Each structure stands twice: as structure tokens, then as C-alpha cells.
Structure 1
Amino acid sequence: MKNRRVVPFLLLIPFMLVTAAIIAAVINVIVQGLGYIRAFGLTTFTLDYYKEVLKEPGLMKSLLASLRIAFFSAVIASILGTLICAALIRCRKAEGGMLTVVRLPILVPHAVVAVFTVALLSQTGIIPRIFYALGLLHNYNHFPDFLYGQSYSGAIIAYIWKESPFVAYFTLALMKSVGETLGEAAENLGASPVRSFFDITLPMSMPAIAQAFLIIFIFAFGGYEVPLLLGATEPKAFPVQTYIQFQTPDLKDRPYAMAMNGITLILSALMAMLYALLMHRLMKKRGGRA
């Protein structure tokens, strides 16, 4: 009997160790971002590094570029993923082979997705060659340049391709449950499938969709591989610029990189708090408990 009580705690040990490592890393970022690195002779806590980072025009451009990538990736992926999820449920394909096909992009590493994007969308890639063979393109240079531009459209497309299936899979269980109960009840009472979806199924599924949006936003904002491989030389995405700053030979400049990491943490925490506030109001409006 005692062994049965101990087993759950033993199973939690790996999770607790990983959590402790993450918390230690966060504390280290905060402390070093405030200018305290005793090994480098920096023993005074100060906000000067944060102020310098926020005053630097180049770094602010990098921050805005990453926010743009995260926002458009999360919004478009959430919309497309919701539509994919609704289509799977409507066509009775929420299980089996079709669901497996939808899940495949989730399993592909982001670096591989970036390579696929280059192979598909570069001006000599697969899609321009198909257009050229069909006579829809008379010169490869006329194909839109999605890659390496300041709009970061290539990175956004890569995130959309990978994260839309994530949204579909993340919201599938809830949307399927709502659609097969309240949605079908509304249709039996005379509502059209479209009205049933937009008036009942979609609003009831919004908590899961909002969670998926938050996950994608934070991940795309802090993502390194995709903006590095598909982004512009200037401005670099904020995580890329942070890594470059981290590798500066002068170790006494390390707090600048940690301050940039601190800004990423702060923005991520603000997004999580905003999500919690919106969900609290939504649940309160519906008469439930947050």
C-alpha cells in the first residue's frame, strides 16, 4: 500500500527536475540582466542595461520584427487551424488516416520546415518551376520574393504551415464534443450548419483556440531557427539578435544579452496574463467559474 502512494511522487521526479532547471535558468536571466555577474566583476544591480537595450533603435526594430512574425503567424494559423478542425469534424474525418496526415507537420522540426520553405518558395524553387512549366510565369525573377525580406513573410509562411495543424489538433476534442452535442441540437431545431458553427460551436471552442494562439505567439516570438534561416539581414529577429549579443567577445557585455532575454520573458508573461484576464471575463460572462 505504501509503495502505491510513493509511485506517483517518483514519477513526478523527472518533471520536478526539469521544472527546477527552468526556474533556475529564469532566475539566472533576471539576475544577470540586472547587471549582477560576480564572475565577471559585476556586482551592482541596475536597470541601465534594460534602458540601453530599449534606447537602441536597431534592437527596437528587431523587437518589432519578432512581434510582427508572432502576431501574423498566430492569427493566420489560428484561423486556418480552426477551419481545418471544423472541416475534419464536418466530413467525419476526425479519426484515422486523415487526422494522421494533419498531424504530420507538427512532428517536423522547425529547421527542416525552413529548408522545405526555401525549396518551395525561393525564386528557383519547386513552386516557381511549376508555374514556369504551366506558362504562368515567364521569368523566375517575376515570382514574389518571400524569403530574406524585411517583411519576414517566408518565416510567417513556415510557421503557418507548421502551426495550423497544431491548432486543429489542439482544438479538435473540444470542438468535436461541442459540435456533436450542442451543435447538432441546434441543427435539429432548425439552425443551418453555418449558423450552428458560428453561434454555438465556435464560441464554445474559443478557450482552446485562444490557448493555441497564445502558445504559437510566444513560440514564434522566441523562435530562433526559422527567422535565422528565412529572415532578413537587417533587422534581425529579436532572438537572433539576442544570440549574437550573447556571443560578444567582451564578457562584460553579457548583461545586455540577458536583458534582451528578460524582455522576451516579460512580454511572454504579459501575454499569458492577458490571456488569463480574457478567459476570466469570458467565463464570468457565461456564468461559469474561471
Structure 2
Amino acid sequence: MKLFRNKQVLPYLQLAPAFLLIAGLLANGMINGITESLHMEFSWSTEAYRALFTESLFWTSLWYTFLITLISTILGLLIGLGITHFLFSYLMKDRWKAVIWVPMLFPHFAAGYLIVLLFSDSGWISGFSYHLGVISQLGDFPNLVNDKKGVGIILTYVWKEIPFVVLMLLPIYVQLDNRLKDVVRTLGGSKSNVFLTAQWPFLWPSIIEIAFILFAFIFAAFEVPYLLGVTFPQMTPVLAYEWFFDGTWTQRPLAFASMTVMTVTIVTLTIAVYSSSQKYRHRLMKGS
């Protein structure tokens, strides 16, 4: 009974059921995916992985997915950090929090459809531009939706993830010690010196973790690329979906193999990012 009264152990015990549930779901999915990827034509084989790694379509899709994910993550993180940094005093008020967090109310699929309504060549913005005389016809509006560069996908994720970045950074800004900023200003430091010296070292580990959360989510997401993407190149989750549902029975192991590779990559990077950020926090607490 003393164990349940220990204030240091109690939070971990309270989180244990949720952790075990999430870990169980992840393990179940991983086991099923690996099992199906190794099962080809009523026998066990690693042929699916050999075929996957020699498939040029997979590598093209993986590179395309990486670029879209990286650009979306960087833009969302930079804009979210800028909003939090420069509008921190306003964001502490409830009405401004409500404004910045409105996009979080929409699911990603709805956000993607909103991007279609706004930025397609027959959307609202192109219509306004046509009536204002900015473009001579609707077809002159730049193709921002269902384009090979993935602009529509990036716009959707950036719009959706900025509020998440602000939500994660606000508590950190609240805990920052303003005395450090006063010291830097007293010594003649500029605004950039204040940010880099008194704020950035404390923001850095959390920013890395937030960036990885965004990267992992976008990297494995399906609905937005499926709605706003093109037939080629495709993001890897969409390619896996088509291999599973639109391909032959021999392509289904490829779908499981591709998602297994992505999952293993994300889990490995999660462990690496978490361990490195925790080491950095430990050094920061010691003053080094």
C-alpha cells in the first residue's frame, strides 16, 4: 500500500493502463503486419522485403513522402514558434487562444477538403481573383491542389499543425525565467541575443520533440495525401493502400512490408530523439 501512496510512483501507476493499452495496440499491429509481410503464397518468405527494396516506385514514393513531411514540419514549427514568441502576451488571454486553436476543431480530412474549396482552380480564392481582375480566367490560377509538388498537402498540414505547436510551446514560455532576459539586456544584448541565450537553450529539446511528433504523424498519414495527392508520385501510405486494395494478392505483402518498414523507422527514431532530448535536459538542469 505504501507504493500507491508514494507521490513519485503514483503518476506512473496512474498512466500505466493507458501505456499498456497503447503499447498493446502497437505491438499487435506490428506483429500482424510483420506476419502478413512474411506470408507469401502459403509459405513464409522475406521475398516481400527484397521485392520492396528493389521497387523503384517505393523509393520514389518514400523520397516524395520525406520531402512533403520535412517541408510541412519545418513550416509548421517555424510559424508556430514565431506566433508563440511574438504574440505570447496575447495568447495568454482566452479569446486569443480560442482564435489560434480553431483549426484544431477540424479533423484532417475536413481541413483538406477546406483547402480544396479555397485553393483549387475553381475555388473561392480563384473566383475572387477572377472577379477582382487579378486573373483573366479561372484556369490562370496556379494549381495548388492535386499537384505533383504537394502544395495542397503542405498547406493542409501547416494550417492544422500550427495550433498544436503553439499549444505545446505556451507552457514552456510560461516557465521561462525572465531574469535571464533582463541579464542579457543589461549586458547590451539585442533581441536576437536574448532569444538565443535566454530562451533557445530551454526551448530546444521541446522543439525537437514537437518536430518529431509532427514528422511521424505526417509521414504515416493517409487521408490528406489520398484526398489532395496525385496518382504519381504518391506518398507511401497511399501507395501501400493501393497495393493492398487495388493490387493483386501478390502485392498485399508489399503493402504490409512498406508499412512495417515505416513503423520500425518511426519507433527507432522516437527512441533516439527521446533519449537525446532527455540527456540534453539533464545537462541543462546541471547548468552545463
**TM-score normalized with structure 1 length:** 0.85
What's the offset of the Cα at 1:65? 1.4
- Say yes or no: does 1:77 pair with 2:76: yes
Partner of residue 155, structure 1: 153
Partner of residue 55, structure 2: 56
- Say yes or no: does 1:47 pair with 2:46: yes
CA contact under 8 A between 1:175 and 1:202: conserved in structure 2? Answer: no
- Say yes or no: does 1:254 pair with 2:252: yes
CA contact under 8 A between 1:154 and 1:230: conserved in structure 2? Answer: yes
Partner of residue 137, structure 1: 135
Q: Deviations over 1:150-189 (max 9, x none)?
A: 1111101110010111111111111232164533453455
Residues 137/179 of structure 1: CA separation in 2 closer, same or farther (3 Å cut): farther
In 1: Cα distance, 2:127 partner to 2:251 partner: 47
Q: What is the identity percentage for the equivalent residue pairs of Structure 1 and Structure 2?
A: 26
- Runs of 4+ aligned residues of structure 1 deviating over 3 Å after TM superposition are 7-15, 184-194, 248-253, 280-289
What's the offset of the Cα at 1:208? 1.3
| Aligned pairs (5 A) from 1:104-119 | 104-119=102-117
In 2: Cα distance, 1:163 partner to 1:288 partner: 33
In 2: Cα distance, 1:130 partner to 1:179 partner: 47
| Aligned pairs (5 A) from 1:221-240 | 221-240=219-238
| Aligned pairs (5 A) from 1:1-290 | 12-13=16-17, 15-33=19-37, 35-36=38-39, 41-42=42-43, 44=44, 46-89=45-88, 91-178=89-176, 180-187=178-185, 190-248=188-246, 250-276=248-274, 278-279=276-277, 282-283=280-281, 286=284, 288=286
Residues 54/249 of structure 1: CA separation in 2 closer, same or farther (3 Å cut): closer
- The alignment covers a number of residue pairs equal to 282
| Amino acid corresponding to residue 17 of structure 1 in structure 2 | L
Residues 188/16 of structure 1: CA separation in 2 closer, same or farther (3 Å cut): same
| Amino acid corresponding to residue 16 of structure 1 in structure 2 | L
**TM-score normalized with structure 2 length:** 0.86
Q: Deviations over 1:222-259 (max 9, x none)?
A: 11011011111112211011111122564454321110
What's the offset of the Cα at 1:49? 1.0
Residues 32/288 of structure 1: CA separation in 2 closer, same or farther (3 Å cut): farther
Structure 2, unpaired ranges of 5+ = none
CA contact under 8 A between 2:90 and 2:96: conserved in structure 1? Answer: no
Residues 248/136 of structure 1: CA separation in 2 closer, same or farther (3 Å cut): closer
The Cα RMSD (Å) is 2.9
Select between 249-258 and 153-162 the one with higher mean Cα deviation.
249-258
SS across alignment from 1:137: coil
Residues 112/283 of structure 1: CA separation in 2 closer, same or farther (3 Å cut): same
